């Protein structure tokens, strides 16, 4: 099965959800691959999203992580390529067909392949302007949309779900990526509103992963709290 993890925005917790989903699949015995088609904003020796995912999970044998292409600038992929190497670099971005081929090859040797987009649903991944929504559709993937609980999320989430449904994702899963331990009245209201945005469209809803799953700062190793939190995503795999 192929899962595409996108979000209502950048920085909403897609990587944390990707890692938690991978933990759930690994726990049930799957061979799991995590693919990031375009990793931007990371220097050659730095950890990107897939390396962080592998580290948080303790780099188990049954997990493979693969980056499509890495670009330096913290921008959308096409812009990051243009900044780094001009038109030639943008032309050298992998095409949609190349991403599809790589992901299908991963699906041959793994039970679950989890693909993490860059930014939100309609950010261009390729020079031709195809998006993670196009990639998900080409793969007939299960779409996972990660959202956040704070102010502004209702509009972003409604727009994202409407666009996803319009592109043929009649079903999918909305996940609240990070929910504070001491929520404000706004967080509580948004949690209910977000659940309704999902379920009114026939989408599944996964309640908030707790905030504080991932320590920031110097590289942290295997994260037992994240492994445990992965259980909340078991319904995505069912
Ligand atoms: N549940 C959580 N617990 C703790 N920290 C979190 C949680 N979710 C997200 N974060 C933190 O919020 C920040 C953004 O999360 P993350 O990197 O997963 O976002 P993203 O949507 O993958 O962003 P990008 O578009 O760059 O891939 C990170 O510093 C991450 O550690
Ligand atoms: C650099 C960042 N962390 C992401 N990888 C790229 C986010 C692109 C967002 C583009 C946009 O929607 O304006
Ligand atoms: Mg990420």
| Ligand 1, atom nearest to 178 Cα | 1
Nearby residues for ligand 3 (ion, Cβ within 5 Å): 14-15, 49
In tens digits, what is the pLDDT along the chain, a chain of 238 residues? 999 999 999 999 999 999 999 999 999 999 999 999 999 999 999 999 999 999 999 999 999 999 999 999 999 999 999 999 999 999 999 999 999 999 999 999 999 999 999 999 999 999 999 999 999 999 999 999 999 999 999 999 999 999 999 999 999 999 999 999 999 999 999 999 999 999 999 999 999 898 988 876 667 788 988 999 999 999 999 8
From 18, 36, 179, 227, the catalytic residue? 36
| pLDDT of res. 220 | 77
Spatial strand order in the sheet of 63-71? 63-71, 32-40, 112-116, 2-7, 142-147, 173-176, 204-206
| pLDDT of res. 94 | 98
Q: Which ligand is nearest to the CA of 38?
A: 2
Residue 37 Cβ inside 6 Å of ligand 2? The answer reads no
Residue 76 Cβ inside 6 Å of ligand 2? The answer reads yes
Active site includes 104?
no
| Ligand 1, atom nearest to 12 Cα | 21
| Ligand 2, atom nearest to 9 Cα | 12
pTM above 0.80, yes or no: yes
Secondary structure (DSSP) of the chain: -EEEEEESSTTSSHHHHHHHHHHHHHHTT--EEEEEEEEES--TTS--HHHHHHHHTT--TTEEEEEEEEESSSS-HHHHHHHHHHHHHHHTSPPHHHHHHHHHHHHHH-SEEEEE-SSSTT-B-STT--BHHHHHHHHTPEEEEEE--STTHHHHHHHHHHHHHHTT--S-EEEE--B-SS--HHHHHHHHHHHHHHHTTT-EEEPPPBTTSS--SS-----HHHHHHGGGGHHHH-
Residues with CB under 6 A from ligand 1: 7, 10-16, 49, 118-119, 177-178, 209, 211-214, 216
């Amino acid at each position: 099965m192929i899962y595409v993890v996108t979000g209502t925005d950048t920085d909403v917790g897609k990587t944390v959800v990707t890692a938690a989903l991978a933990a759930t699949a690994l726990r049930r015995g799957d061979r799991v691959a995590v693919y990031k088609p375009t990793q931007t904003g990371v220097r050659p020796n730095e950890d990107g999203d897939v390396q962080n995912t592998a580290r948080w999970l303790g780099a188990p044998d049954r997990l493979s992580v693969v980056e499509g292409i890495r670009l330096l600038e913290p921008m959308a992929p096409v812009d990051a390529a243009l900044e780094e190497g001009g038109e030639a670099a943008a032309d050298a971005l992998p095409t949609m067909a190349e991403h599809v081929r790589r992901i299908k090859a991963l699906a041959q040797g793994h039970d679950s392949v989890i693909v993490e987009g860059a930014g939100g649903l309609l950010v261009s991944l390729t020079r031709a302007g195809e998006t993670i929504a196009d990639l998900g559709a080409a793969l007939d993937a299960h779409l996972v949309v990660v959202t956040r609980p704070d102010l502004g999320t209702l509009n972003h989430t409604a727009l994202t779900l409407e666009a996803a449904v319009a592109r043929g994702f009649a079903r999918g899963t909305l996940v609240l990526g990070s929910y504070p331990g001491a929520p404000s009245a706004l967080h509580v209201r948004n949690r209910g509103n977000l659940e309704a945005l999902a379920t009114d469209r026939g989408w599944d809803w996964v309640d908030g992963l707790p905030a504080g799953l991932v320590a920031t700062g110097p590289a942290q190793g295997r994260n037992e709290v994240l492994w445990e939190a992965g259980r909340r995503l078991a319904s995505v795999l069912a």
